[in-house]
Homo-oligomer: A and B are copies of this chain.
Amino acid sequence: MKVRVTVMPKAGVLDPQGKAIGHALDSLGFGGVGEVRAGKVIELELAETDPNAAKAAAEDMARRLLANSVIESYRVEIAP
């Protein structure tokens, strides 16, 4: 079962990578670009076949390794 963990900087946390992307888009002539936030996405192939158990395992992984809960929030979903 494929699970996707998306890790984003929390609102209010400075995101220099997002800012840099915003500036670069501006330089390339893209207008109307407001806030840009850059995060990570981790796709995991799990042996677990029960969706709820797979989701719970991925949330545990996110808490313990993938996300820094002080500055990042995460979201776990079953990938299609």
Contact = CB atoms under 8 A, between A and B. Distances in A.
Interface of A: 6, 8, 18, 21, 24-25, 28, 30-48, 57, 60-61, 64-66
Given A33-B45, A65-B21, A66-B21, A39 B40 contact: yes
A43 B34 CA distance: 10
Given A18-B42, A21-B65, 19 more contacts: A8-B41, A25-B44, A25-B61, A25-B65, A28-B61, A28-B64, A28-B65, A30-B60, A30-B61, A32-B48, A33-B45, A33-B47, A34-B44, A35-B44, A36-B43, A38-B41, A39-B40, A39-B43, A41-B41
12 contacts: A21-B65, A21-B66, A25-B61, A30-B57, A32-B48, A32-B57, A33-B45, A36-B42, A37-B42, A38-B41, A38-B42, A40-B40
